Amino acid sequence: MIETPYLLFLGDAPDPLAAKVAQGIKDWRPDFALGQLRMEGCRADMKLPDMTLAEAKAAGAKTLVIGVANRGGVISAAWKKVLIAALEEGFDLASGLHNLLRDEPDLKAVAEATGRKLHDVRVPSVKYPIANGEKRTGKRCLAVGTDCSVGKMYTALCMEREMLARGMKASFRATGQTGILITGGGVPLDAVIADFMAGSVEWLTPDNDPDHWDLIEGQGSLFHVSYSGVTMALIHGGQPDALILSHEPTRSHMRGLPGYDLPSLEAVRDMALTLARVANPACKVVGISVNTAALDDDAALACCAEIEARMGLPTVDPFRHGAGRLVDALEAM
């Protein structure tokens, strides 16, 4: 396991969304998030103390966690300087990047010389099976989004927190690096070999008590051409009983795809439900989670009310307003 507490590395994040790994750790395991380290030009801020490596070390931080994404790219020379200094200062490194720390000869050499660990949570550590589609006991809920990065993980984490507070049996099931860094386990789904994607989701959500709910972390979107195959594997491997639609109301186009409009919630509902019923004919869409972070309080409530009236489903921002009504919907099933 990764040693805590963490210093969160935000690098030269071009926008706050790029630092969603750091944000997730800060929101869901605040005790782990001792401080943040930002480079010049960084446009993300976790509202944590800005610390140098030496300051964080003195404060007790054990691991520098890379809390920022580098879309399909490389680990830059500017990052390398910080990472190598961190190893030399006595930090372990933890990362969910596609580019593995262990594949960087300089990082590997310094880690070996200093006796420090390189945690690449991106890399699957299990040989997953091919999905067999067999019905499993227990219940499963999956959030499907109009786009990537619209709050699917937060929805699942909020629902888990609410369900555990009610004494229900519930497990957040992480499918991405942030979720894995938060919970310590899961499937790094976007790094799984294509043929084993759905099988890895089956593996992640095995037979369970009849009244137990898996809250499966969603990924991508059926309407995002770069990542839709991953979403499909979640729907067919997860065989959800309940779907939550997730949406960000201020997005002007699909994330990273300037030419692509967002689909309507109706289109996502119909497509996801049709596909989900292949694996689980009883599947229902039970609610809608809206990421209202970009709206003020009144606008957030108005947005949810408008969607609720239009779609006829309980609609909340679970992070802002609580996940109670979404959990009510699961309890009513």
**Residues lying near a copy of itself in the complex (CB under 8 A):** 71-72, 98, 129-135, 189-195, 197-199, 222-223, 225-233, 236-237, 239, 254, 256-257, 259-260, 263, 271, 274-275, 278-279
Give the integer Cα–Cα distance in Å for 220 and 145: 7
- How many Cβ atoms sit within 10 Å of the Cβ of residue 127? 10
Cβ distance to a copy of itself smaller for residue 190 or 248 = 190
What residues have CB less than 8 Å from 267, skipping those under 6 apart?
A: 223
Residue 53 has a CB neighbour count (10 Å cut-off) of 20
C-beta of 37 vs 234, nearer to a copy of itself: 234
Closest to a copy of itself by CB, 176 or 314 = 176
Compute the least distance from the CB of residue 175 to a copy of itself, in Å. Answer: 10
Q: Is the Cβ of residue 59 or residue 193 nearer to a copy of itself in the bound state?
A: 193
Nearest approach, Cβ of residue 19 and a copy of itself (Å): 19
Provide the residue type at 102 as one letter: R
Residue among 79, 7, 78 at smallest CA distance from 46: 7
Distance of alpha carbon 21 from alpha carbon 202, whole angstroms: 24
Q: Which lies closer to a copy of itself via its Cβ, residue 16 or residue 256?
A: 256
Give buried/exposed letters for 84-102 (b at 16+ CB in 10 A, else e). bebbebebbbbbbbbbbbe
State in angstroms the smallest separation of the CB of 266 from a copy of itself.
12
In DSSP notation, 4-37 reads: SSEEEEEET-SSGGGGHHHHHHHHH-GGGEEEEE
Pick between residue 167 and residue 258 the one whose CB is nearest to a copy of itself: 258
List the structure tokens of 315: 């609609």
What angle, 0 to 180 degrees and rounded to 10, lies between the N-to-C axes of helices 105-114 and 77-89? Answer: 10
Would you say 200 and 187 are in contact if contact means Cβ atoms under 8 Å apart?
yes
Q: Which residue type sits at 197?
A: M
C-beta separation of 169 from 215 below 8 A = no
- Least gap, CB of 221 to a copy of itself (angstroms): 10
Considering the complex, state which of residue 257 and residue 301 has its C-beta at the smaller distance from a copy of itself. 257
* Residue 170 C-beta: closest distance to a copy of itself, Å: 24
CB of 103 to a copy of itself, least distance (A): 12
Tokens 């630092």 correspond to what residue?
19
Contact 220, 227 (CB under 8 A): yes
Cβ 272 to a copy of itself shortest distance, Å: 12
- Residue 140: name the closest of 116, 173, 104 by CA: 173
CB of 246 to a copy of itself, least distance (A): 18
